[in-house]
Structure 1
Amino acid sequence: MMGRTRHLAPALTGLGLGSLALGPGLAPGFLLSYDMVFVPDPALNAMAFGLTGTVPRHVPSDAAVAALALVLPGWLVQRVLLLAVFVLACAAAASLVPSRRTVPRLVAGVCYAWNPFVAERLLLGQWALLLGYAALPWVLYAAAVKAGERGGWRWLPGVMLPAAIGGFAALAVSGLAGFMAGRGRGRVVVAGVFAVLSLPWLVPGLLRPGGVPGDGAGVEAFAARADTPFGTLGSLLLLGGVWNGETVPAGYGTPVTAALWGLVVLGALFAYGRYRERIAPWWRGAAWAAGVGYAVAALGAVLPPVLETAIRLWPGFAVLRDGQQFAAPLAVVVAVGLGLAADRAIEARYAPVALGALLAPVVLLPALAWGAAGQLRPVDYPADWARAKRIIEADPEPGDVLVLPWAAYRAYPWNHGRRVLDPLPRYLPRRVVVNDAVTVGGTTLAPEDPRAVRLDGAIRSGGPLTGVLRDAGVRYVAVDAADPEAGPDRLPGAERLVQGADLVLYRIAGTAATPERNAPVLAVIAAWIVASVPLIWSMISAMATLGTRLLGSTTPRRRAP
Structure 2
Amino acid sequence: MGERTRHLVAALTGLGLGLAALGPGLAPGFVLSYDMVFVPDPAFTDLTFGMTGIVPRHVPSDAFVTALAAVVPADIVQKLVLLAVFVMASTSAASLVPSRRLLPRLAAGVCYAWNPFVAERLLLGQWALLLGYAALPWVVAAAARVDEPGGGRRLVRTLLPAAVGGFAALTVTGITALAVALTTGRARGRAGLQVVAAVVLLSLPWLVPGALRPAGLPGDGAAVDLFASRADTPFGTLGSLLLLGGVWNGETVPRGYGAPVTATVWLLVVVIALIAYWKWGRQPVWWRGAAVAAVVGFVIAALGAVAAPVLEALIGLWPGFAVLRDGQQYVAPLAVVIAVGVGVAADRAAEARWPGVAAAATAVPVFLLPTLAWGAAGELRAVQYPDGWARARQIIDRDPEQGDVLVLPWASYRSYAWNHGRRVLDPLPRYLHRRVIVDDAVIVDGTTVPQEDPRAVRLTPIAKSGAPPAAALRDEGIRYVVVDAETGAIRPSGAAVEVMRSADLVVYRIDGVAEVAGERVPAAPVAAAWGIVSLVVIWSILAPGTTLSLPLLGSTKARSPQHRRRTP
User: 2 CA distance for matches of 1:538 and 1:484?
Assistant: 54
Secondary structure, aligned partner of 1:177? helix
Secondary structure, aligned partner of 1:498? strand
Query: Which residue of structure 2 lines up, in the alignment, with residue 170 of structure 1?
Result: 169
Counterpart residue type for residue 355 of structure 1: A
- Residues 89 and 113 of structure 2 are in contact (CA less than 8 Å); yes or no, is this contact kept in structure 1? yes
Q: Structure 1 549/173 Cα, relative in aligned 2: closer, same or farther at 3 Å? A: closer
Query: Which residue of structure 1 lines up, in the alignment, with residue 185 of structure 2?
Result: none
Equivalent residue in structure 2 for 1:294, among 295, 298, 302:
298
> Residues 112-157 of structure 1: CA distance to partner in whole angstroms, max 9, x if unpaired?
000000000000000000000000001111112x112234111111
Q: Structure 1 196/288 Cα, relative in aligned 2: closer, same or farther at 3 Å? A: same
Query: Which residue of structure 2 lines up, in the alignment, with residue 427 of structure 1?
Result: 431
Query: Which residue of structure 2 lines up, in the alignment, with residue 149 of structure 1?
Result: 148
Secondary structure, aligned partner of 2:382? coil
Query: Which residue of structure 2 lines up, in the alignment, with residue 181 of structure 1?
Result: 180
1:381 equivalenced with 2:385 (yes/no): yes
Query: Which residue of structure 2 lines up, in the alignment, with residue 495 of structure 1?
Result: 497
Query: Which residue of structure 1 lines up, in the alignment, with residue 512 of structure 2?
Result: 510
Query: Which residue of structure 2 lines up, in the alignment, with residue 38 of structure 1?
Result: 38
Secondary structure, aligned partner of 1:272? helix
Q: How does 1:48-447 map to 2 (within 5 A)?
A: 48-144=48-144, 146-183=145-182, 184=188, 185-279=190-284, 281-447=285-451
- Residues 89 and 133 of structure 1 are in contact (CA less than 8 Å); yes or no, is this contact kept in structure 2? yes
Secondary structure, aligned partner of 2:257? coil
> Residues 504-561 of structure 1: CA distance to partner in whole angstroms, max 9, x if unpaired?
110011113323232221111111111222211111116646699799xxxxxxxxxx
- Residues 222 and 322 of structure 1 are in contact (CA less than 8 Å); yes or no, is this contact kept in structure 2? yes
> Residues 339-362 of structure 1: CA distance to partner in whole angstroms, max 9, x if unpaired?
000000000011111112110000
Query: Which residue of structure 2 lines up, in the alignment, with residue 554 of structure 1?
Result: none
Offset at 1:460?
Answer: 2.2
User: 2 CA distance for matches of 1:157 and 1:355?
Assistant: 35
User: 2 CA distance for matches of 1:227 and 1:371?
Assistant: 20
Q: Structure 1 308/550 Cα, relative in aligned 2: closer, same or farther at 3 Å? A: closer
TM-align CA RMSD: 1.5
> Residues 315-338 of structure 1: CA distance to partner in whole angstroms, max 9, x if unpaired?
000000001000000000000000
User: 2 CA distance for matches of 1:550 and 1:113?
Assistant: 23
Deviates more, 1:332-341 or 1:491-500: 491-500
Unpaired runs of 5+ in structure 2? 183-187, 558-568
User: 1 CA distance for matches of 2:244 and 2:230?
Assistant: 12
User: 2 CA distance for matches of 1:65 and 1:309?
Assistant: 37
- Residues 496 and 508 of structure 2 are in contact (CA less than 8 Å); yes or no, is this contact kept in structure 1? yes
Counterpart residue type for residue 18 of structure 1: G
Counterpart residue type for residue 246 of structure 2: G
- Residues 545 and 555 of structure 2 are in contact (CA less than 8 Å); yes or no, is this contact kept in structure 1? no
- Residues 48 and 59 of structure 2 are in contact (CA less than 8 Å); yes or no, is this contact kept in structure 1? yes
> Residues 27-76 of structure 1: CA distance to partner in whole angstroms, max 9, x if unpaired?
11000000000000111111110011111000000000000000000100
Query: Which residue of structure 2 lines up, in the alignment, with residue 47 of structure 1?
Result: 47
Equivalent residue in structure 2 for 1:519, among 521, 529, 541:
521
User: 2 CA distance for matches of 1:543 and 1:69?
Assistant: 31
- Residues 90 and 108 of structure 1 are in contact (CA less than 8 Å); yes or no, is this contact kept in structure 2? yes
Counterpart residue type for residue 178 of structure 1: A
Counterpart residue type for residue 452 of structure 2: E
User: 1 CA distance for matches of 2:383 and 2:547?
Assistant: 44
Aligned length: 547
- Residues 60 and 200 of structure 1 are in contact (CA less than 8 Å); yes or no, is this contact kept in structure 2? yes
> Residues 393-433 of structure 1: CA distance to partner in whole angstroms, max 9, x if unpaired?
22110110000010000000000000000000000110000
Q: Structure 1 329/544 Cα, relative in aligned 2: closer, same or farther at 3 Å? A: closer
User: 2 CA distance for matches of 1:204 and 1:343?
Assistant: 48
User: 2 CA distance for matches of 1:418 and 1:293?
Assistant: 31
- Residues 217 and 443 of structure 1 are in contact (CA less than 8 Å); yes or no, is this contact kept in structure 2? no
User: 1 CA distance for matches of 2:50 and 2:468?
Assistant: 32
Counterpart residue type for residue 4 of structure 2: R
Secondary structure, aligned partner of 1:395? coil
Secondary structure, aligned partner of 1:356? helix
User: 2 CA distance for matches of 1:394 and 1:201?
Assistant: 30
TM-score of the pair, normalised by structure 2: 0.94
- Residues 158 and 538 of structure 1 are in contact (CA less than 8 Å); yes or no, is this contact kept in structure 2? yes
- Residues 170 and 203 of structure 2 are in contact (CA less than 8 Å); yes or no, is this contact kept in structure 1? yes
User: 1 CA distance for matches of 2:266 and 2:382?
Assistant: 30
* Runs of at least 4 residues off by over 6 Å: 546-551
Secondary structure, aligned partner of 1:198? helix
User: 2 CA distance for matches of 1:320 and 1:274?
Assistant: 31
Offset at 1:484?
Answer: 3.0
User: 2 CA distance for matches of 1:515 and 1:195?
Assistant: 31
Offset at 1:463?
Answer: 5.0
Secondary structure, aligned partner of 2:507? strand
Offset at 1:461?
Answer: 3.4
Identical columns (%): 64
- Residues 227 and 241 of structure 1 are in contact (CA less than 8 Å); yes or no, is this contact kept in structure 2? yes
Query: Which residue of structure 2 lines up, in the alignment, with residue 558 of structure 1?
Result: none
Offset at 1:465?
Answer: 2.2
- Residues 128 and 166 of structure 1 are in contact (CA less than 8 Å); yes or no, is this contact kept in structure 2? yes
Counterpart residue type for residue 358 of structure 1: T
Offset at 1:162?
Answer: 0.2
